[in-house]
Amino acid sequence: MSLHLEPIRVATGSGDEEGRLVLMQDRLVAVLVRLSEQHGPDAGRWFLEAGLGPLAGPDQPSFAGLDEAQDWILRRLDGLHP
């Protein structure tokens, strides 16, 4: 199982615009957004702006990099289909 990332601008209503659509094959599973300078020490981290299906819910972590974000997403998706 692998993920595919596509750059996208995200209308978060804040300075956080740079995003990635996270696709598994041709299905959207999540949207990641890079946190802007307005987030101080968290600037540059990748935030799980939206999760679809099994990634939906109140748990919205942020990650140091895109690799870490993808690992987390894959683990979550794997966990449901061991």
Partner 1 sequence: MASASNAELAPLIRKLESIATLSDEARQAVHALPMAVRVVEPRQDLARDKDKPAHCCVLLTGWAYRYKLLDEGRRQILSFHVPGDIPDLQSLHLHVMDHSLATVTQCRVGLIPHEGLRALCLRFPDAAFALWRDTLIDAAIFREWMIGIGRRNAHSRIAHIFCEMYVKLQAVGLAENHRCAWPVTQTDLGDALGLSNVHVNRVLQDLRAQGLIGPQDRDLVILDWDALSALGEFDETYLHLERRAAA
Return residues touching partner 1 (CB under 8 A): 12-14, 16, 35, 38-39, 42, 47, 58-60, 62
Nearest distance from C-beta of residue 26 to partner 1, angstroms: 28
25 vs 58 by CB, closer to partner 1:
58
60 vs 67 by CB, closer to partner 1:
60
Nearest distance from C-beta of residue 58 to partner 1, angstroms: 6
What is the rounded CA–CA span in Å between residue 42 and residue 27? 29
